[in-house]
Amino acid sequence: MQPEDQKSDFQQPQATNYFSPAPVEDPGVASEPQPVAETSPAVTPAPAAPSEEETPTPAQEPAAPRQPEQEPVQWQAPEYLHHEKNPLWFVVFGLVVIGLTAAAIFLMQSWTFALLIPVMAVALVAYSHRPPRMMDYVLSGKGLYINDTLHPFAEFKSFGVIHDDHEYSVVFIPVRRFRPSLTVYFPADKGEAVVDLLGVRLPMQPLKLDAFDKIVRLLGL
């Protein structure tokens, strides 16, 4: 049993007399109309326009610095080095040809190679007497122009500079494996401009003359 002074959590509902008569209104007395509250249509507030400070701006990536275009480098140079040959050179060259021919006959016993050696010697002498042509070179951002013939940088994988016999030359190493390298001579006053322009587009590697090049330069070919 709960004490009487403690209220219950649940209160009993009051009894309603459903049988009592409903109040009857007097027809002679007009009832005052009840004021109807006016309702205004609901207005949805328009969203406020964002201010300039709150307006989100798309993220802009910083533009890559544009590399300044270098001026083309122009010069003229012979297509190869020409050495004047004295009579002693022809005597030594003739002895070398005779020695190679004798070795082909008596040591190698190859008559075909023995006949090929004099033919090659005559062609070499005729080629060495031909004066070198002066070539027009233009080095630009597109590649190397040799007498209006463009050699783009995509043909080469690297380059190197060789200083030999007071002459400077740049050697282009081709991408293709069995393609010969391209040697271009240039004057000393153009060397810095040539190396700077090539160094931006091709890797530079140290080069030196191989045994065959040294023999060719020793013979003055």
For residue 199, what are its two tokens?
A: 């160094």
CB 144 within 8 A of CB 151: yes
Share of the chain above pLDDT 90, in %: 27
Q: How much is the pLDDT for 62?
A: 55
Q: Which residue has the tokens 């590649």?
A: 143
Q: How much is the pLDDT for 9?
A: 47
Amino acid at 53: E
Q: How much is the pLDDT for 221?
A: 57
Q: How much is the pLDDT for 49?
A: 52
Report residue 149: phi and psi, to 5°: -105, 120
> 122 vs 49, 63, 128, CA distance in Å?
92, 63, 10
pLDDT tens digits along 38-75:
555 555 555 555 554 455 555 555 554 555 567 899 99
* Strand ordering across the sheet containing 167-174: 156-164, 167-174, 182-186
pTM of the full structure = 0.55
- The DSSP letter of residue 188 is G
Which of 31-35, 212-216, 217-221 ranks highest by mean pLDDT?
Answer: 212-216
